[in-house]
Chains A and B, each alone.
Chain A
Amino acid sequence: MNTIGHFQYVCMKTNRFLSNADCSPLKKMQRLMHTEHNNLRKPSSRVEPVPARRASLACVAALLLAGCSGDTHLSFLDPQGPVASAQRWHFVEALAVLVVFVAIPVFAITPWILWRYRYGAKSSRYTPNWNFYGPLEIASWAGPVVIVVLLAIIVWRDTHALDPYKPLASDQPALRVQVIGYDWKWLFIYPDQGIASIGVFALPAGRPVAMQLTSATVMQSLHIPALGSQIYAMGGMVTQLHLQADRPGRSLGENNMYNGNGFHQQRFTAVAMTPEGFDAWASEVRSSGIALNEQILKVISQRSTRAELNAALSQPRSPDGNFYFSGATAALFPAVVMATMGGTMVAPAKAPQEPANTAAPAARKPAAPATEKVQ
Chain B
Amino acid sequence: MNYEAIKHPGLNLGSAHGRDHDAAEGMVFGFWVFLMSDAILFSMVFATYVTSVGATAGGPGPHELYDIKSVFIETLLLLASSFTFGMASLALKYKHGTARLIGWLAVTLVLGVAFLGFELHDFASMFSKGAVPSRSGFLSAFFDLVPLHGLHVTGGSIWLICLVGQIAMYGVDTQVKLGLMRLALFWHFLDIVWIAIFSVVYLAGLT
Contact = CB atoms under 8 A, between A and B. Distances in A.
Interface of A: 341-342, 364-366, 368-372
Contacts of A372: 57-58
B135 interface: yes
B59 A370 contact: yes
A371 B135 CA distance: 13
B58 A364 contact: no
B134 interface: yes
Given A365-B134, A369-B58, A370-B59, 12 more contacts: A341-B57, A342-B57, A366-B59, A366-B130, A366-B134, A368-B58, A370-B57, A370-B58, A370-B136, A371-B58, A372-B57, A372-B58
14 contacts: A341-B57, A342-B57, A366-B59, A366-B130, A366-B134, A368-B58, A369-B58, A370-B56, A370-B57, A370-B58, A370-B136, A371-B58, A372-B57, A372-B58
B52 to A, nearest CB: 11
Contacts of A368: 58
Nearest to B57: A370
Contacts of B134: 364-366
Q: Is the interface of A mostly helix, strand, loop or mixed?
A: loop
A364 B134 CA distance: 7
Q: Is the interface of B mostly helix, strand, loop or mixed?
A: loop
Nearest to A366: B135
B127 to A, nearest CB: 13
Nearest to A343: B57
Contacts, number: 18
Interface string B107-141: 00000000000000000000000100011100000
A363 to B, nearest CB: 10
Interface residues of B, number: 8
A369 B57 CA distance: 8
Greatest chain B CB density within 10 A among A341, A342, A365, A370 is at A370
Contacts of B58: 368-372
B173 to A, nearest CB: 49
Task: Across the A-B interface, give the 6 residue pairs with the lowest CB-CB distance, nearest first.
Answer: A370-B58, A370-B57, A364-B134, A372-B58, A366-B135, A370-B59
A371 B56 CA distance: 11
A341 B59 CA distance: 14
Greatest chain A CB density within 10 A among B56, B57, B59, B134 is at B57
A365 B59 CA distance: 12
Nearest to B130: A366
B175 to A, nearest CB: 44
A372 B57 CA distance: 7
A164 B184 CA distance: 53
Greatest chain B CB density within 10 A among A364, A366, A368 is at A366
Contacts of A341: 57
A375 to B, nearest CB: 8
Greatest chain A CB density within 10 A among B58, B130, B134, B136 is at B58
Contacts of A364: 134
Interface in B131-164: 134-136
Nearest to B134: A364
Interface string B78-91: 00000000000000
Contacts of B136: 370
A371 B57 CA distance: 7
A368 B136 CA distance: 12
Nearest to A364: B134
